[in-house]
Amino acid sequence: DSGVTQTPKHLITATGQRVTLRCSPRSGDLSVYWYQQSLDQGLQFLIQYYNGEERAKGNILERFSAQQFPDLHSELNLSSLELGDSALYFCASSVGWEGAYEQYFGPGTRLTVT
């Protein structure tokens, strides 16, 4: 158990819909990262927050957004869902943002868009 929790574990929804994925980082970790893993793309970085502020963006679509709240949990919002958004979404956390710090991953949310 990494100490990072993600809800829900599974999500099935239809195209065009909007969903929210939630992540609670390990106690004491200030940085949260979101990653997407699909069969054909591997693990792709989406976005990073540190202590409530956006720190870096990766291959995140405009239909996707995220935020980190004062209690440090984070939410990833996916809207106007398409079939291609079906994937595993992982959240990770770390104490700091520099390269010296390791990241701890949650169990993921499996999103299926039908």
Which residues make up the interface to other proteins (CB under 8 A)? Answer: 2, 33, 35, 42-45, 48, 55-58, 90, 92, 97-108
Find, among 46, 47, 15, the residue nearest to 112 by Cα.
15
Nearest distance from C-beta of residue 18 to other proteins, angstroms: 24
Nearest distance from C-beta of residue 82 to other proteins, angstroms: 23
Of residues 33 and 64, the one with the C-beta less far from other proteins: 33
**Cα separation, 15 vs 56, whole angstroms:** 28
Q: Can you tell me whether residue 102 is helix, strand or coil?
A: coil
Of residues 17 and 59, the one with the C-beta less far from other proteins: 59
Of residues 71 and 98, the one with the C-beta less far from other proteins: 98
Structural contact between residues 3 and 105, judged by C-beta atoms closer than 8 angstroms: no
Nearest distance from C-beta of residue 99 to other proteins, angstroms: 4
Cβ neighbors of 114 (< 8 A, separation 6 or more) are 12, 13, 14, 15, 83
Nearest distance from C-beta of residue 92 to other proteins, angstroms: 8
Of residues 9 and 14, the one with the C-beta less far from other proteins: 9
**Cα separation, 3 vs 24, whole angstroms:** 9
